[in-house]
Structure formats: structure tokens, C-alpha cells
Structure 1
Amino acid sequence: MIVDDHELERFALSLLVRRDPQIDVVAEAGDGQSALDAIASLADRGLPVPDVVLMDVRMPGMDGTQATRRIIERFPGVHVLILTTYDQDDYAFKGLSAGAMGFLLKDARAEDITHAVHALAEGEAVLTPRITREVLDRTSELSTTDEQRRLGALFADLSPRERQVVELMADGRSNSEIADAMVIQEASVRRSVSRILTKTGLRDRVQIISTWYKAGR
């Protein structure tokens, strides 16, 4: 799904992602409320909701951050990628805090955007390289010593292999890169990530990474 208040931007993004035969654009919207309504309408009619939403930030009415939070709360299986022209850390930080799993600029290469769509559909997190370090630095600054101990306890039950997966995720590796580093199958990485989410009670990969840094790892 593509959400942007500029019709030409939506059209251009739609053309871009439709070049990939494995990606279908199932809906478009011009603001956050319309996006939420469109997804609800699909669900009410028994139709598949989008796996991934490409979400603009600055829109009239309900903006991208608010829409992301509302969509994730109501449809937790939908993954949101914040896609904006504004290269500002606050947009990334607020979007990720609202539940988005990625942040890219609209001037990213076409292959980077389609790769991000596939990555989010598989439950991976996607961030622009410059934003990644800044967001994680800001996240870690929010933790007190007591909170670090509390958050660190979430990882206490992880096996050595699962902890290695978390460390590699925190290093910005994708599932395929983790599999190569650990000399295991990519399917094994996906199973490990699922077990990590179950054991920690965290929502997604972004929460795993940010919590890992908050815990002072």
C-alpha cells in the first residue's frame, strides 16, 4: 500500500514497485485516516490487507507517525516503511517509536525500495545507513542503569546461538547476511528470530535491536 498526499508521488512509487513481478499494489491513500480506513475496508470484506505500507510522514490531518501507530495497533501483521523526502532523525525516531520497521528516503534507488518492501514482508528492519547509528545512539541514551538491567533480563533465556543472531541484527545484518556469518540456512535464522520474539515478548526486529542497545549491550 502507498500512502502519500501527493498524487504524482503515489503514481511514481506505484510504477516503481510494480516493476517487481512479486509486488502488488493493493491500495493507495492520500492521508493517514484514509489509509486506516482503506485497510479496515479490505479486512471487513475478507480481502488480504497489505503486507507492507510505504508511508509518507508529512500529510494533512492524520500524519504518517499517527497513522503508523494506529495501523500497527489494529493490524499488527502490517509492516510500515517510512518513506520521506526529509532526511531528519526525528522523523525516523518518531516513526520507529510508533512501530514502523523501516525508514528510507524517497530518493533511494529503485532497487533499494523494492528490496526494502521484500525485507519488511519477511519481518526484517530497514534503515538508511546514516540514520541507523543516530537512532540507535539516541535509543541507548534513554536508558538508566536500572532500566538497562530490566531490559537486559529480557535476553537472559536466549541460547548462545540466539544471542549471536541478536548481535548480528544489531550490527545491521539482514537474515541472509546473518546466515552467511553463522554458516547456517536462512530459514534457521528466521526460526531463531521467531523464538527470540517469543522469549523476549518484543514486537519485532526493530524493538529487539533498540532494546538490545537500551540494555547496554
Structure 2
Amino acid sequence: MSETIGVLVVDDHAVVRRGVVAYLEALDNVEVAGEAANGREALDLLESLKVRGRPLPGVALMDLMMPKMDGAEATAEIARRFPEVRVVILTSFGEVERVQAALENGAAGYLLKDAGPSEVAAAIYAAANDDVFLDTAVARRLAQKMRSPQSGVAALTSRERDVLVLVAKGRSNREIAAELVISERTARTHVSNLLGKLGLRSRTQAVLVAMREGLVAPPS
């Protein structure tokens, strides 16, 4: 990464925030853009930056269980109001339903709080690059639990299936375009079409469907 990534840290535990901030400050190309104790504070901070004409952080590192507004609801609001901010869930809860709700609301990825420093860095860099990063253990559970929509992968064209596989491998639209020798705009259109056919709302969900359908192998 050559550009500095601003990261907003959202967690209701001050000690956790301090630890995360201290770690982020040691990362290359990462700058802590602010802290918030819940989803409402995070939205207020982003709105304040926007009103003042200040750059928004590229990534919000978001806890799930918080008072006033939890991480899943905050993620949906950020995706709606500040789509340039990518949300990565960082939670101590491994409950599939809670994490799945966050992904459906637009989260770019998620980690458990026992994740290693390299995983936290990888998740932030992936989100900033419009990719996804999934915790290995919960990704397996989500892939097993997630039911494929009625239309299913069979409804996709061969090109859309190719694009789905590349999305599941973490390729950006630009990388998909280069690999399939198509324009970036066409790649973006294919991604939008396959998400629509599968009834999905995010690339993260597409990754889980691809794993469930056996198009790519789950993380080892």
C-alpha cells in the first residue's frame, strides 16, 4: 500500500480501543482517524468530518456488541451514508447470526478479537483495496450455514461464474478485468449482475456462496 489508510476505531471498551490504537499506530501506511464508543458516536464523527470537508477514514474497525447502536446497525448506516468507508468487524463473539447480519449490512470483512496482528493488518489493507478478509473459523461456519438462494449459481452465465470465482479469491474489479481481458467497467457490471441474480448484497456474501457451492476451497 502506498497511500495512508485512515482507520476509525469503534469499541465500547476504552482499554480495547487503546490497545487497538497502539497497534495501528505501529503499522505502515495506517493512521488512526478517530475513536468512538458506539455506532452512534461513529456516525456522528463521520458526519462531522464530512460537514467540515475533512477526508473520511478508509476503514472503520467496528465491534459488534455496543450500547446505543450496535455494530451491525452502524455498519448498515455507514454503508448507506458513507459508502467510501469500508467496515471491518472486530468482535469477541463468534455467533454466526450476529456476524452474518453485519455482512448482510455491508461489512467488508470480520475478525475475532483473538486474531493475530498480521490478520488485523491484512483485513485493513484488504478492505482499503475493496477486497474482503474473513476470519477462517467463522468463515467455515458461515459457509456451512448459508443457504444458496432459489435461483442459485446455476442461473449465472459462464462468465459470471468466472467472475464469482475471482471475487471469492479476493480479486478487485481491476484485477478481474485484467485476468479476463475485459474493461474494469464490464467487470463491475458482471459483479453487480451476479450479486443480483444470487440475491446478495455484498462481495463478502458472494465469497461464502462460492465456498458453499464448492467453486473455491474454504480457508485451510
Normalising by structure 2, what TM-score? 0.77
Of 65, 73, 86, which residue of structure 2 is paired with 1:58?
A: 65
- Displacement of 1:27: 1.4
SS in 2 for 1:82: strand
Of 202, 206, 209, which residue of structure 2 is paired with 1:208?
A: 206
- Displacement of 1:163: 2.9
Note the alpha carbon deviations across 1:62-119, whole angstroms, 9 max, x for none.
1111111111111122111110112221222111111111110111111110111000
Partner of 1:35: 42
- Displacement of 1:204: 3.8
Distance 1:56 1:26 in 2: 16
Distance 2:183 2:62 in 1: 25
SS in 2 for 1:27: strand
Partner of 2:162: 164
Distance 2:30 2:180 in 1: 21
Of 148, 151, 157, which residue of structure 1 is paired with 2:151?
A: 148
Q: Which amino acid aligns with 2:151?
A: Q
Q: Which amino acid aligns with 1:43?
A: K
Write out aligned runs for 1:48-197 (5 A).
48-140=55-147, 143=149, 147-148=150-151, 153=155, 155-156=156-157, 159=159, 163-170=161-168, 173-175=169-171, 191=184, 194-197=188-191
Is it true that 1:10 corresponds to 2:4 in the alignment?
no
- Structure 2 vs 1, CA of residues 214 and 21 (structure 1 numbering), >3 Å: closer, same or farther? closer
- Structure 2 vs 1, CA of residues 164 and 197 (structure 1 numbering), >3 Å: closer, same or farther? closer
Q: Which amino acid aligns with 2:134?
A: L
Distance 2:96 2:83 in 1: 24
Task: Tell whether the 8 Å contact from 1:65 to 1:98 is kept in structure 2 after alignment.
Answer: yes
Distance 2:114 2:183 in 1: 30
Distance 1:87 1:152 in 2: 31
- Structure 2 vs 1, CA of residues 216 and 185 (structure 1 numbering), >3 Å: closer, same or farther? closer
Single out whichever of 21-30 and 89-98 deviates more from structure 2.
89-98
Q: Which amino acid aligns with 2:207?
A: I
Distance 2:80 2:194 in 1: 19
- Displacement of 1:34: 0.4
Of 37, 53, 62, which residue of structure 2 is paired with 1:46?
A: 53
- Displacement of 1:2: 0.4
Gaps of 5+ in 1: none
Q: Which amino acid aligns with 1:163?
A: R
Single out whichever of 189-198 and 4-13 deviates more from structure 2.
189-198
Distance 2:140 2:87 in 1: 20
CA RMSD of aligned residues (A): 3.1
Gaps of 5+ in 2: 1-7, 216-220
Task: Tell whether the 8 Å contact from 2:164 to 2:191 is kept in structure 1 after alignment.
Answer: no
Distance 1:77 1:66 in 2: 17
Q: Which amino acid aligns with 1:70?
A: E
**Between the two proteins, what is the percent identity of the paired residues?**
32
Partner of 2:4: none
SS in 1 for 2:89: strand
- Structure 2 vs 1, CA of residues 34 and 8 (structure 1 numbering), >3 Å: closer, same or farther? same
Q: Which amino acid aligns with 1:194?
A: R
Distance 1:16 1:189 in 2: 40
Partner of 2:5: none
